[in-house]
């Protein structure tokens, strides 16, 4: 992976694309050494306008604010870190990062604005576009902006695109026939139930349905999907 400027990774939900992969990358000495070797090919490094890297800094995009926050919290728990130090997040109206942050979760919209202010993203060595199959307007803009930055940086910036259901052939062609890797994860049985809920009482009815399932069915977890504010 460290030899390629662009990489596409597909894998089942729960395979670790959003949580385990970023940890491997910031801890990888092999990736850091590969990027250090290529720094002299970039004018900004040769002229000392940009400080050579000492440690990998990685940013990973998420389509929703809740996902960015929960992923950062999860990694802090796994690595026994304080949120806002080594691991943090930036969303609208909330920034939990510091100068020590090496792994940052951001929403697509926030990262578009960051790309505009720093087109070549010299702050980072790795960018992960997660859940790329959702194809929002911001995500599509990032596909082009980051490709331009990666090509300019000549191997000192890596782009990794992750998804469970992405059209890999189309994206591989767009990114110079880059490799496509597969991650495998353990899947658990999931039972899907649909409940007709009146528009004006959707939250109340969803809570009641979850309580009924909890009281009358066997052990397990319950996940409730509701419409977003833009869909109401």
Query: Is the same domain home to 81 and 158?
Result: yes
Number of domains in the chain: 2
Residues 70 and 147 in one domain: yes
- What per-residue confidence (pLDDT) applies to 69? 95
CA distance 150 to 168: 19
- Does residue 179 have a pLDDT over 70? yes
Residue 187 has pLDDT above 80, yes or no: no
Q: Which residue has the higher pLDDT, 15 or 110?
A: 110
User: How confident is the model over 189-204, as a mean pLDDT?
Assistant: 76
Same structural domain, 216 and 149: no
Rg (Cα) of the chain, in Å, rounded?
A: 20
The residues, ordered by sequence, that sit 6+ positions from 70 with a Cβ below 8 Å of its Cβ are none
pLDDT of amino acid 229: 63
Res. 232 pLDDT band, cuts 50 70 90: low
pLDDT at position 218 is: 82
- pTM, to two decimals: 0.82
In whole angstroms, give the CA distance from residue 101 to residue 209.
Answer: 41
Residue 1 lies in a domain: no
Residues 108 and 205 both lie in one domain: no
Give the 3-state secondary structure percentages of the chain, helix then strand then coil, rounded to 5: 40, 15, 40
Same domain, 222 and 117: no
What is the number of residues in the chain? Answer: 232
pLDDT over 90, % of the chain: 52
> What span, in angstroms and rounded, lies between the C-alpha atoms of 38 and 16?
29
- Average of per-residue pLDDT values in the chain: 88
Token look-up 């090509």 returns 151
Q: Cα–Cα distance between 85 and 68 in angstroms, integer?
A: 15
Which domain, by its residues, includes 125?
6-183
Report in angstroms the alpha-carbon separations of 67 from 14, 71, 108: 14, 6, 11
Shared domain check, 215 and 119: no
Residue 225 has pLDDT above 70, yes or no: yes
Q: Which CATH number belongs to the domain containing residue 48 in this structure? A: 3.40.50.300
């Amino acid at each position: 992976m460290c030899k390629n400027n662009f990489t596409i990774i597909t894998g089942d939900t729960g395979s670790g694309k959003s949580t385990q992969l970023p940890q491997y990358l910031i801890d990888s000495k092999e990736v850091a050494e590969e990027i250090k070797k290529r720094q002299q090919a970039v004018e900004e490094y040769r002229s000392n306008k940009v400080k050579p890297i000492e440690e990998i800094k990685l940013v990973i995009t998420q389509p929703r604010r809740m996902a960015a926050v929960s992923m950062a919290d999860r990694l802090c728990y796994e690595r026994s870190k304080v949120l806002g130090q080594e691991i943090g997040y930036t969303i609208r109206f909330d920034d939990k990062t510091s100068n020590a942050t090496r792994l940052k979760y951001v929403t697509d919209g926030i990262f578009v604005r960051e790309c505009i202010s720093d087109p070549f993203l010299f702050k980072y060595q790795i960018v992960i576009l997660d859940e790329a199959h959702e194809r929002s307007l911001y995500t599509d803009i990032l596909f082009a902006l980051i490709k331009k930055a990666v090509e300019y940086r000549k191997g000192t910036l890596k782009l990794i695109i992750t998804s469970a259901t992405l059209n890999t052939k189309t994206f591989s062609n767009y990114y110079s026939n880059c490799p496509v890797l597969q991650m495998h994860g353990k899947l658990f049985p999931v039972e899907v139930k649909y409940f007709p809920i009146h528009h004006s009482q959707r939250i109340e009815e969803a809570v009641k349905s979850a309580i009924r399932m909890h009281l009358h069915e066997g052990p397990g977890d319950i996940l409730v999907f509701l419409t977003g504010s833009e869909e109401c």
